[in-house]
Chain A
Amino acid sequence: MADLSLAPAAQSVSAARKQGRRWHKATPILFLLPPLLLYAMWVIGPMFYSVWMSFTNADGISRQDFVGLANYRRLFNDDIFWTSFFNNIRWLVAFITIPIVTGLGLALLLNNDLPGTRFFKAGFFSPMVVSSVVIGIVWSWMYQPYGLINEVLAWLGRDGMPIGFLADPDIVTWAIIAAGLWRQVGYVMLLYLAGLNNVDQTLVEASRVDGASTFRSFRDIVLPQLQPITVIIVVISIIDALRSFDLVNIMTRGGPYNQSNVLAQFMYIEAFNNYNMGYGAAIATILALISMVFIFTYLRRMVKTEIDY
C-alpha cells in the first residue's frame, strides 16, 4: 500500500512516475475527503433519506410505513400536481430564455465608461438585493385591479374591466413570473458584464477591420467567448426558476385554487401544513429529477466541448 502521508513531492513523484502519474495517488482523496464528507452528511445523505421517505406514508411525527409507489400513483392522479408541474416548466422556459437575452442586451448597452453607467448598472441590479417578501408584496400591489399597472393601462387608453393579473387563472402564473424575471435580469446582466470584460477586444477589432459587420463580429467572436459564463448563467437560471417558491408563496400562495402553484409550494404545504410528509417527499423527488434532467443534458454538452489545458 502506498505511503499516504504528504511526503515531499520528489520522493513520491518518482514513485508515482513508475505508475505513469506525476502526483501521489492518494492526493486527490485527501483533498476531497473533508468537503465530500460534509457534503455527503448534510446534502447527499438527506436527499436519499427523502427519496426513501417518498416510499412511505410518513407524517413527520409518528407514522412511517412503507407503501411502495402509492404516493407516486396518487401524484399522477392529482390535478394539483400536474398544474404545478406545467407551471414549473413555464418558469424554467421563461428563466432560461428571457433573462439571458435581456441581460446580455443590457450588458452590451452598459458596457462602456460613460459617466453614470456604474450607477445604471447598480440600478438594474438593485432588485436582487431586496428581499423577495418585499418584492412579492409590492408587485401584488401593482397588480391590483386599481393598482399601478391597470391605472397606467387605462391612462394609455385601454378601456374595459381592469385586468386581474393575480386573479385570472390564465395569466396569474405569468404575472408572478414577470416579477421573478424583473429581479433576475439585473443579475444576469451583471454576470454578462463580467463575461464581456474578458472578451479579447483585439480579436473583435481585427474582425471589424477585416470587414465583418458589427453583428457578424459579435456572433462569431464575442458570443463564443461568452460561452463559459453562459454555462454558469444557465445553471443559475435553472436553480432560480425552481426556487421560485418564495414569490409564489407571498403573492398567491399557489392560488387562485392552485392555478399558479409550483411544485416547491405544493410540496411545502403538503409536507408542513397537511402533515403528508411522504407525499411531500415524492413531490420533492420529482422536482429534483426535473432539475437534474435539465442540468445534466446541458452540462454534458458543455463537458464534451471543454478545452483541457
Chain B
Amino acid sequence: MFDAHTRILNARLSRRRAAALGAGAAGLGIAGNPLGFHLHAQERSTINLASNASDPAPRERLAGQIENFNASQDQYTVEINTTAHEDFKQAIRTYLASDSPPDVLTWFAGNRMRFFSNNNLLMPLDDLYTENGWDTTLPEGIRAVSNGDDGSYYFVPTSYYAWAVWYRPSVFEEIGVEPPTTWDEFLAVVDAASDAGKVPITIGTQMPWTAAAWFDYFNMRVNGPEFHISLMDGKEAYNSEDVKNAFGPWRELLDRNAFIPQPEAYAWQDALTPLVQGDAAMYLMGRFLYDSFPDDSQDDLDFFQFPIIDEGVPVGEDAPTDGYFASVNAPNPEGAKALLSYLGSAESQTWNVEQAGDPAVHPDVSLDLYNDATRRSVEMLQEADYIAQFYDRDTHPDLAERGMSAFIEFWNTPDDLDAILDRLDEDRKRVYESDS
C-alpha cells in the first residue's frame, strides 16, 4: 500500500513541481532580475491547519494531500498541527476563540459545527461553494449538514464512512449461519453463536460512544430517522413511549447475553481482539474497523447492514461526515479559502481515496476506486433514506454526554430504564431550553 502511495505521490510531485518551477522561472524572467544571478524564491505565506487526524494512516494521508497542495501552487505553504483526536474536541474551542486562531481546522459536519457558526467563529463560505459549484454538485443530504442555522455554508465536507455490523465469514461458516437481514434472522445468528461457544457480539464501552451506535440504530430502525433527528434536536421526549420501544430489541439482546461480558472494561480497540482471534462473531462499528484489522486477515472480514426491524420504517444509516472549516478571524483568509477549495475538490478526494482513505463526499470520485467492502458500504449509504451523523455529533454535546452515560447505565441495570429515561429527559429540557 505504501509503495503505491509513494509512487503516486512522486509522480504528482514531479509533474507539479516541474510545472511550478517552469511558471516561477517564467515569472521571474518577465519581471527581470537586474541584480544578478541569485534568485530569491517567491515568499510563500503560511496557512495554519489544525488537525485532529491523529490516527497513523489518516495522518499520513493528510500529510500527503498537503504536499500535493504545496506543490500545486507557490503562494502558500501549509503548516499542519496535530492534536489527539479526543483532546481536539475540547481544545478546538480554545483554538477558535484565541486571538491568533488557526486558518483551517478539521471538524465534523452537523450540529457540532453549528455551535461554532452560531457563535460567529467561522468564516462563511458561500462564495467558495458557488465558485466550486458545490452548491449544485454535492448531494442534498451532505449540503444539509454543512450549513449553519442562518443558511450560509460554513463547512467543506470531504469524507464520510458507514457503520455496519462486521463479521468474519470463516466464523459464520463455522457456526453455520448466513449474514442476516431481518431482526429475527439476527437473533437466530446470536443464538447460534452462543450455542457454538462464541461471544455473539463484541464491544468495548470504556468510551461510551460505541453504545450510542446501538441506540442510534435501534431508534432509527424502530421509530424511523425523522423521529430520530427530531429527538436529536431536542424536540422529542426521551421518556416517550416511542423511545422506550426502541430499547425493546436492545433488551432482547441483553437478556440473551448476546454481548461480551463487562464491555466497560475494554477500549473499543481492545474488544477487537476477540473478533480477530475468532472468539467473537460480530461487531457493530464504523468502517475504520477495517483499517485496524491486521493486514493479513482483512480478506476474512465483511459486513452486513444493521438488520431491519420494521419493514415499514424508512432506512436511516449513521455516516459521520468529516471535513474542514475556517476561522472567521483567520490570519490568512485567502490562503484558507485556497486550501479549502483544494480539499473540497474531486481531485484531492480522489487522491485520498486512492490512498485507502474514507469514502469521498464529492460525487465525481469514481466508485471503482474503492475496495469491494468499501464500495458496497458506500452503495448502502446511497440507498439509505436518510444519513445521520452519529449520536454525539447530531445532538448537543452536553446532552450527548448524559445520553451516553444513560445507555451504559441501561446496559448495567436494564430494569431501571424508566427512571433512567426520566432523568435523561430532565437533562434534555435543561439543555435545549437554554440553548440560544
Contact = CB atoms under 8 A, between A and B. Distances in A.
Task: Verify whether A and B have any Cβ pair under 8 Å.
Answer: yes
Given A144-B270, A255-B208, A167 B398 contact: no
B208 A167 contact: no
A252 interface: yes
A63 interface: yes
Interface stretch (A20-28, A198-206, A226-234, A273-281): A273-281
Nearest to B120: A62
Given A255-B405, A256-B408, A272 B90 contact: yes
Given A61-B121, A253-B206, A256-B412, A167 B264 contact: yes
Interface in A145-180: 145, 161-162, 164-169
Interface string A262-280: 0000001110111110000
Interface in A170-218: none
Contacts of A164: 261-262, 264-265
Interface in B48-91: 89-91
B178 interface: no
Nearest to B97: A61
B119 A61 contact: yes
Interface residues of A, number: 33
A166 B265 contact: yes
Interface in B269-306: 270
Contacts of A167: 262-265
A169 B119 contact: no
Interface of B: 89-91, 93, 97, 115, 119-121, 205-208, 261-267, 270, 396-398, 401, 405-406, 408-409, 412, 423, 434, 436
A273 B90 CA distance: 5
A257 interface: yes
Nearest to B96: A61
A63 B120 CA distance: 12
A162 B119 CA distance: 49
Contacts of B93: 60-61, 272, 275
B280 to A, nearest CB: 13
Given A268-B90, A273-B397, A143 B265 contact: yes
Chain B interface main SS type? helix
Contact of A274 (B121, B398, B412, B436): B398
Contact of A145 (B89, B265, B396): B265
13 contacts: A140-B206, A140-B267, A141-B270, A161-B261, A162-B262, A164-B264, A256-B264, A257-B405, A272-B90, A272-B93, A273-B398, A275-B115, A275-B397
A111 interface: no
B206 A166 contact: yes
A145 B264 CA distance: 10
Given A61-B97, A256-B408, A273-B89, A145 B261 contact: yes
A167 B263 CA distance: 7
A275 to B, nearest CB: 7
Contacts of B119: 61-62
B97 A255 contact: no
Given A274-B398, A274-B401, 14 more contacts: A61-B97, A61-B119, A143-B265, A144-B265, A164-B262, A164-B264, A167-B263, A168-B262, A252-B264, A255-B408, A256-B205, A273-B398, A274-B397, A275-B398
A169 B416 CA distance: 15
A141 B270 CA distance: 9
Contact of B265 (A60, A165, A270, A273): A165
Contacts of A275: 93, 115, 397-398
A254 B205 CA distance: 12
Contacts of B89: 273
Contact of B266 (A144, A270, A273): A144
B403 to A, nearest CB: 11
